[in-house]
Structure 1
Amino acid sequence: MVRRRNATLSLTAAALLAATPLITSCGAQHPGAAAVVGGRTISVAALQTQVKQVRAAQNATDQADQMIDATSDLSRSQLNSMVFDQVLDRAAHDAGVSVTTTDVQRLEASAAQQVGGAQALRSALLQQYAVAPGQIDEFYRVQAEAQGLARHLGVDLTTQSGQAAVTKVLSSASQELRVDVNPRYGKWNTQTLTLGSASQPWLRQSAATSAPPQQITG
């Protein structure tokens, strides 16, 4: 349960966060922004790049039409993941949790072994979570970070109580970061950690264990 989706923890200092006024509209005060998280902008251009990577990967498969039809709201779901990643980064940073390249590689290798190899893993992630090949390392970085946060809290992410404990910490981090999303994509919910009408809970956006994609449930 926790998807993705960036190797270093880039965070705004708490003092600066406290001094930052509430942002009323990304579109008005931050032209070109898809969202602003802790004063940091996720640009529409960056979001479009993520979407294009996924669409290109989907179009290269025999199931292109089905995949594209199943991800008709791809921009929203990709932005959901991008915002969630920054919230998780903040929570992990506050807890003193860090992730190494070895951590990421270990999770990725374990998943690949369980599904039948790297190519099978790429196919599974693309089909089930709309993760392009170039986004896989980030996917497993987020998994590793979530697992590290859970260990810090002394909880098990495979249990409801463990998930609730991590969600509480992430919700708190989300509130501190004052997530503001461009209205065209919806509104961020700090309690469910989802964007607008997104139907997938945060646990589908990163994996709580090193299980292969098809075993991840949320």
Structure 2
Amino acid sequence: MHRRRRTALVLSAALLAAAPLLTACGSDARPGAAAVVGGQRITVGQLQSRVSEVREAQRASVADETQYQQAVAATATLTRDTLHQMVLDRVLDRAARNAGLSVDRSEIQQLRAGLEQQAGGAKALEDTWLQRYGVPPRRLDDNLRLQLEAQKLADHLHTDAGQPAFWKALSEASAELHVDLNPRYGSWDVEKSTLVDAKTPWLREVPAEQAQQPA
């Protein structure tokens, strides 16, 4: 049987920066929460901690204050984008689990090794993910796990990520989780997550060779 070309997907806060805030469903997040997903709070403190991780990594990766300020300016919407990423992480994880899919440590290591080889080493890969996608080094494996979940979900649905069937699975997961954002950060539109919208390019392909997994 012919095997479909497999691709890994980059899910990142930096890509979400290009997306408009989703609006419609959800505006009643509990006090002190940036969002509530599946009855579990993402607190403002947790959100700010994740943002601080990125800022600290950015500062450590540049030579001087001018370069750091340039990095900050390039990620001016980091707080909003980080929250959207944290919510999407949980939505995608639920969609994958609904389909009976999981990712193990060896698969993450395999993908990471291939990407490190392509980038020119572990440090080069970490720097690339930080600069391009706002993913600090300590969160890189988590990000790669989500890429693999997205890839497996698309394969399970016999489609490609970004196609209607893929977005429908995310929409159903969003509805199950009753995503509720604090209005200061925007709101979550369950229905729009079913659409393929060129204005929300939070999916990006990386070479298929790095995403090969056993059938």
TM-score, structure 2 length as denominator?
A: 0.77
Q: Alpha-carbon deviation of 1:42?
A: 0.9
Letter in 2 for 1:77: D
Distance 1:24 1:119 in 2: 40
3-state SS, counterpart of residue 25 of structure 1: coil
- Alignment of 1:126 onto 2:130: yes
Q: Which runs of 5 or more structure 1 residues have no equivalent in the other structure?
A: 6-21, 194-198, 213-218
Letter in 2 for 1:150: A
Question: Higher relative CO (CA 8 A, sep ≥ 6), structure 1 or 2?
Answer: 2
Describe the superposition over 1:149-193 as per-residue Cα deviations: whole angstroms up to 9, x where unpaired.
112112244xx6xx3321121112112221100011111122444
Q: Alpha-carbon deviation of 1:141?
A: 0.7
Q: Which runs of 5 or more structure 2 residues have no equivalent in the other structure?
A: 1-8, 14-24, 194-198, 211-215
Letter in 2 for 1:52: S
Match of 1:19 in 2: none
Match of 1:170 in 2: 170
Match of 1:58 in 2: 58
3-state SS, counterpart of residue 35 of structure 2: strand
Letter in 1 for 2:71: M
Aligned sequence identity (%): 48
Distance 1:77 1:69 in 2: 14
Distance 1:40 1:208 in 2: 32
Matched-pair contact (CA < 8 Å) for 1:125–1:132: yes
Match of 1:190 in 2: 190
Describe the superposition over 1:1-34 as per-residue Cα deviations: whole angstroms up to 9, x where unpaired.
34158xxxxxxxxxxxxxxxx97511xxx22111
Residues 207-218 of structure 1: pairs in structure 2 closer than 5 A: none
Quick one: which of 79, 89, 95 aligns to 2:83?
79
Quick one: which of 139, 143, 157 aligns to 1:153?
157
- Alignment of 1:112 onto 2:128: no
Distance 1:179 1:76 in 2: 15
How many residues align? The count is 183
Matched-pair contact (CA < 8 Å) for 2:28–2:181: yes
- Alignment of 1:3 onto 2:7: no
Moved over 4 A (4+): 207-212
Distance 2:71 2:26 in 1: 35
Quick one: which of 132, 143, 163 aligns to 1:139?
143
Q: 1:75 to 1:24 in 2, by over 3 A?
A: closer
Matched-pair contact (CA < 8 Å) for 1:146–1:208: no
Distance 2:201 2:176 in 1: 20
3-state SS, counterpart of residue 189 of structure 1: coil
Matched-pair contact (CA < 8 Å) for 1:53–1:132: yes
Distance 1:142 1:152 in 2: 15
Quick one: which of 89, 92, 104 aligns to 1:88?
92
Quick one: which of 5, 28, 53 aligns to 1:25?
28
TM-score, structure 1 length as denominator?
A: 0.76
